[in-house]
Amino acid sequence: MKLSKEKKEHLNSKIIIAGPCAAESRAQILETAKAISEIDSDIILRAGIWKPRTMPGCFQGVGEIGIDWMVEAKEKYGIKISTEVATKEQAKLCIEKGFDAIWIGARTSVNPFYVEDIANACKGSDLMIMVKNPIHPDLNAWIGSIERFYSVGLTNIYAIHRGFHPLPESEYRNYPNWSIPIELKTKYPNLKVLSDPSHMAGNTHLIPKISQDAIDLNLDGLMIETHISPEDALSDKDQQLNPDQLLELLNSIILPNNDLSDISAINRLSELRGRIDKIDNELIEFFSKRMIISKKIAEVKQQNNLPLFQPRRWANILDRICDLGEERGLRREFVTELLNVIHTESIEMQKNKK
Ligand code: PEP
Ligand code: MN
């Protein structure tokens, strides 16, 4: 079954990567490649050849033989191929064998030595290189990895958002924490950031929602684990779609309309944005006024040798403002986070004053 012509045109601006968590056999790779290329020949095939697993004793991938299966799939079905690399030797082998793309997994992208070695191994190639976010929610660690590729002159660089640990109580396997990929895109407007709903979901039923969330947030593509027979998969079996489900997912995605032509909607949006801009200006004015008072408090504290941080007073402020926020429809977690940022800055400023 093929992706409808209309949907394909629609999804054209997005990069779609699909394939099994791991290459398991020649037949599995060839059958998957065939099914995926029939859906849309622009989909890039993925399969893990060397699988970094959290626990020893799990299936760790088929190793080098899997490279040949992927290359065969590329030759037979004209599909682009990608895999995860964790060492410079693996990266070199992928380049040598004509892979179109590689990605750095979440357990590797946190390690500066490995990432630097891989970047050096890729120097001069036109390989598409995708850097997954490290497991912990640290944007700088993710950026550091991406920068290591830029710094050796590589430009065909992408990021993949695959969710984070630790996990607040939730139904996800890895928490999306959408503010992190959004901040990445804000800092690097030309960097394409893809989303990996499979590893965020950990099951198949959450994948459509996460995929749509990613597209609504204007992320640039999706990596979806797809197995010819998910129930027999040797890793991540609960989160892999079969090719029919992949097709259904791609057909179900609604793309946001990037060029608005309805004049009344344009006017309405511009009026609302004007109001938001005004409020943002006022917020800055208020923060600045608050900081000036904070500095005065610092002077009194200094003159009277009082501690900078007074936990009881802070707990009272938090409680009172969270109650107020809740009355106005703001979540306590949001208000707490906001106040903590303000308070930290205030303490920093008072410390510098001392
Ligand atoms: C994978 O893509 O199969 C994988 C292991 O992903 P991650 O590095 O995001 O855990
Ligand atoms: Mn996987």
pLDDT at site 207: 98
Residue 106 CA to ligand 1 center (angstroms) comes to 6
- The whole-angstrom distance between residue 289's C-alpha and the CA centroid of its chain comes to 36
Residues lower than pLDDT 50 in the chain:
none
pLDDT of res. 320: 96
How far apart are the CA of 86 and the centre of ligand 2, in A?
14
In 3D space, the residue among 67, 136, 127 whose CA is nearest the CA of residue 97 turns out to be 67
pLDDT for 349 equals 85
Ligand 1: list residues with CB < 6 Å: 21, 48, 84, 105-107, 132, 162, 196, 199
The number of the ligand 1 atom at minimal distance from the alpha carbon of 223 is 2
- Report field, pTM of the whole predicted structure over 0.75: yes
Q: Whose CA is nearest to atom 4 of ligand 1?
A: 105
pLDDT at 1: 80
Ligand (nearest to CA of 174) = 1
Q: How confident is the model at residue 54, as a pLDDT?
A: 81
In this structure, the strands spanning 44-46 and 192-195 are unpaired
What's the confidence (pLDDT) of residue 310?
84
Q: Which residues pair with 83 in a beta bridge?
A: 102
Predicted pLDDT at 309: 83
C-alpha to C-alpha distance for 133 and 186, rounded to whole angstroms: 16
Cα gap 276→273, rounded to integer Å: 5
Identify the residue whose C-alpha is closest to ligand 1 atom 1: 21
Of 145, 196, 222, best ligand 1 pocket probe by most atoms within 8 Å of the beta carbon: 196
* CB burial readout 299-334, b (16+ within 10 A) else e: eebeeeeeeeeeeeeeeeebeebbeebeeeeeeeee
Q: What is the pLDDT of residue 353?
A: 65
How many CA within 13 A on the CB side of residue 86? 15
